[in-house]
A and B are shown apart, each in its own frame.
Chain A
Amino acid sequence: EAGVVQSPRYKIIEKKQPVAFWCNPISGHNTLYWYRQNLGQGPELLIRYENEEAVDDSQLPKDRFSAERLKGVDSTLKIQPAELGDSAVYLCASSFLAGVNEQFFGPGTRLTVL
């Protein structure tokens, strides 16, 4: 079974440029999560989707971050414009339904903003 797929794996951009990350969850998983992991810290939830609906985006910085999950499968997370402090690893995870189920994580996208 294929795991959670993320691309790109690495991205280097200059500040003020836009950037987008893509995630393909495990087939059949209707819950999708985007996390940000700063160096030396644990992941922090940015947004959670149930199918195509964003049910928790309370920690998403909406002035520059946006996300979408069209058709309830793949998802894209965008930053525009990027700032130096956005340098981090962006993780996508999926799980089968909500509730207290294990989340399956992708390998992440390491973003460096210069």
Chain B
Amino acid sequence: AQSVAQPEDQVNVAEGNPLTVKCTYSVSGNPYLFWYVQYPNRGLQFLLKYITGDNLVKGSYGFEAEFNKSQTSFHLKKPSALVSDSALYFCAVDGSGGYNKLIFGAGTRLAVHP
């Protein structure tokens, strides 16, 4: 069965420090992976996706994610965190082989402290 795990409910980081939000997945076939961010009272916003090619994917707002096939991981990273990055982050996998049927993880709350 297709699934996504986000092992951390919350990640705390100081402003200016690098951040990592972890995601592991289980899918049959080629993995199509996504990160979305959810700010309070707003809809989810797309950050980046991995389809194929370079394992390091760059996205919006300075975020990037590294696809690791052997570890079945797709961790979200940013070199220098901002207070405004504080939000709820969701990892998702397309479990339908390219038909955009997303399976989301439970989410990780990122708190960036001044």
In the complex the two chains form, what is the Cα distance from A100 to B48 in whole Å? Answer: 12
- A42-50, A64-72, A79-87: which lies at the interface: A42-50
Q: Write the chain B residue with the least CB distance to A50.
A: B99
> Does residue B84 face the partner (Cβ distance < 8 Å to A)?
no
Residue of A nearest to B43 (CB): A105
For residue B104, CB closer than 8 A to chain A, the reply is yes
Q: Is the CB of B90 within 8 A of A42?
A: yes
Contact indicator A31/B100 (Cβ below 8 Å): yes
A36 CA to B67 CA, complexed, in Å: 28
For chain B, the count of residues having a C-beta within 8 Å of the partner chain is 25
Can you list 18 contacts pairing A with B, beta carbon distance less than 8 Å? A4-B43, A42-B90, A42-B107, A43-B102, A48-B100, A48-B101, A56-B99, A95-B100, A98-B99, A100-B49, A100-B98, A100-B100, A102-B46, A103-B46, A105-B36, A105-B45, A106-B43, A107-B41
| Known A40-B106, A100-B49; 14 more pairs at CB < 8 Å | A4-B43, A41-B106, A42-B90, A42-B92, A48-B101, A56-B99, A91-B44, A93-B44, A100-B51, A100-B94, A102-B34, A102-B46, A107-B43, A108-B43
> In B4-60, which residues have CB < 8 Å from any A CB?
4, 32, 34, 36, 41-46, 49, 51
How distant is the Cα of A45 from the Cα of B105 in the complex, in angstroms? Answer: 12
* B112, chain A: closest CB distance, angstroms: 21
Q: Which one of B42, B96, B99, B107 has the greatest number of beta carbons of chain A within 10 Å?
A: B99
Residues on A with C-beta less than 8 A from B96 are 56
Q: Which B residues contact A (CB, under 8 angstroms)? A: 4, 32, 34, 36, 41-46, 49, 51, 90, 92, 94, 96, 98-102, 104-107
User: B104 contacts A43, CB within 8 Å?
Assistant: yes
Asked if A3 CB lies within 8 Å of chain B CBs, one says: yes
Q: What is the CA–CA distance of A108 and B41 in the complex, to the nearest angstrom?
A: 8
Q: Which of A42, A95, A101, A105 has the most CB of B within 10 A?
A: A42
Chain A residues with CB under 8 A of B101: 45, 48, 56
